[in-house]
Amino acid sequence: GQSLEQPSEVTAVEGAIVQINCTYQTSGFYGLSWYQQHDGGAPTFLSYNALDGLEETGRFSSFLSRSDSYGYLLLQELQMKDSASYFCAVRDPGTASKLTFGTGTRLQVTL
Amino acid sequence: SQTIHQWPATLVQPVGSPLSLECTVEGTSNPNLYWYRQAAGRGLQLLFYSVGIGQISSEVPQNLSASRPQDRQFILSSKKLLLSDSGFYLCAWSVRGLHGYTFGSGTRLTVV
């Protein structure tokens, strides 16, 4: 089976940098994804790492270390609108591309 | 462009009543389709997935069933709802070559 662990809550100040960690234990691995979900809304796709290293998309970056079964999402220049829950997810290598999601990290950005 | 429609947005149903939630996808062919459930303040649990018409796989035993009568239509059903069926139900799709899921706007179900 698959299991993923994330911190439950993180608080940071507007303009700062925050890192959300994710460790996983999987029976198969085909990449680590990150999703953002605002209260009451649907998750939206942020990033995907299949190989080790850093992927950058604007203010957001995601990192993966397959040997450590570890990844993180880095958010820079935090804005109030970044207050949301963030989920890491492991993709199953099968044809169905199933995603198993972590428990989620609630990010609160303050002034 | 690809879009996903999910309805209704909210639903309040009595215990023991039936359920039917529908999801349709536009702008893509032969997508993988998924039903997830999210309890309040919790992560997303995969309920069912489908790789083609009539092909349904269940991830957890439960009071729900799913069907895919058409390539871009995915339906979640129950014959008799339980209180524990309350939650936020999300439909999603993916296709080969794209790494992310696209989720529908979700249905918030409250069983009373």
Each residue's pLDDT tens digit, A72-88: 999 999 999 999 999 99
Interface of B with A in 23-42 (CB under 8 A): 32, 34, 36, 42
**DSSP for A51-84, written as a single string:** SSEEEEETTEEEEEETTTTEEEEEE-S--GGG-E
For chain B, 112 residues long, give each residue's pLDDT as a single digit of tens. 778 999 999 999 999 999 999 999 998 889 999 999 998 878 899 999 999 999 999 988 789 999 999 999 999 999 999 999 999 999 999 987 777 899 999 999 999 9
For Cα atoms A82, B91, B42, give the angle at the middle one, nearest 5 degrees: 50
Provide the CA A41 distance to its chain's centre, in angstroms.
17
Q: Please enumerate residues of A whose Cβ is less than 8 A from a Cβ of B.
A: 31, 33, 35, 41-45, 48, 50, 87, 91, 95-104
**A-chain residues near B104 (CB < 8 A):** 42
Asked if the C-beta of B106 comes within 8 angstroms of chain A's C-beta atoms, the answer is yes
Cis link prior to B8 (omega < 30° from 0)? yes
